[in-house]
Amino acid sequence: MIPTLTKSKLILQSEVDSLVSTDKCKYLTKGRSYAAPAGLFAKNDLKNAAKGIDEWVQLDKGNAYILTNYKWISMDHSGSTQLNVDFDTLYCNE
């Protein structure tokens, strides 16, 4: 769902090695983590995470990302959660 909400291009982990080795993409930042602001519903968490990914990709002067991990973390005893995403940013020229 996150890839449909981002403006940046999602690169699959299975594709990145060939894209980097053929100089179609280059890593800008590896291992970025982002804790999305909690939304009222899970879809809002996803939208917030997508916005954060796009902001970091833009700040890194990239246009693509690899989503390496995501998880919802419990924030309190009432069941509130926060979506955390881990990703790498890239610049791809295709």
Q: pLDDT higher for 45 or 24?
A: 24
| Residue 94 pLDDT | 67
| Residue 45 pLDDT | 87
Are 80 and 35 contacting, i.e. CB atoms less than 8 angstroms apart?
no
Band the pLDDT of 54: cuts 50, 70, 90.
very high
Band the pLDDT of 81: cuts 50, 70, 90.
confident
CA distances to 36, 48, 63, 89 from 44, in Å: 10, 6, 23, 22
pTM over 0.85: yes
Q: Where do the DSSP E strands lie in 8-80?
A: 9-10, 25-35, 64-74
